Amino acid sequence: MFESLSLADVSATGLTAANYDLVTTCLVDEHLAELVPLYAEAARLARRGAAYVVVGFHPYFIMATGMPTHFQAADGEPVAIETHLPLLSDHAEAGLAAGWQLAKLREQVIDDRWVKTKPTWAAYRDVPISFAWVSRRYET
């Protein structure tokens, strides 16, 4: 449950330091040239013992599909957001640098459930599509 919704830079949110038991980011990492500021800000926000959950597209999926993120602007013009290729090792290094310890890592492949929902993805069956990375911060 949240009390408000704010727009901010993920590396400098302006939120209160050491105030959260859970920090999350979802589908953000592939748009950042550097992960260290993201993990450092999550560490700044986290209380001792907090968890940080990062959910993202698997780097292999981004490589296999070349999938850009795109939207339509209010005037109907297409807008593409730059996509980077952060590897799982980049997440590990950025997290360790910010004092996070890996607690769990899960990866999901495109399986029959995905293909049933998106038949055009049959060519990507068994390709990793996403990951969920859970870290803990035991230092303050």
From residue 27, alpha-carbon distances to 5, 18, 48, 54, 131 in Å are 17, 23, 25, 8, 10
Q: What is the pLDDT of residue 131?
A: 98
Percentage of the chain lying above the pLDDT 90 cut: 81
- DSSP string of 5-16, one letter each residue: ----BTTB--PP
Q: How many residues in total does the chain contain?
A: 140
Quick one: pLDDT at residue 3?
Answer: 81
Name residues whose C-beta falls within 8 Å of residue 136's C-beta, 6 or more positions apart in sequence.
Answer: 49, 50, 51, 52, 100, 101, 103
User: What are the structural domains, with CATH classification, of the chain?
Assistant: 20-136 (3.40.50.150)
The model's pLDDT over 76-96, given as tens digits with 9 standing for 90+, comes to 999 988 899 999 999 999 999
Tell me: pLDDT of 68 over 80: no
User: For residue 62, how far is the Cα from the chain centroid?
Assistant: 13
Residues 1-42: pLDDT tens digits?
678 888 899 999 999 999 999 999 999 999 999 999 999 999
Other beta carbons within 10 angstroms of residue 54's beta carbon come to 26
- Give the percent of the chain with pLDDT over 70: 99
Q: What is the pLDDT of residue 123?
A: 95
Confidence of residue 104 (pLDDT cuts 50, 70, 90): very high
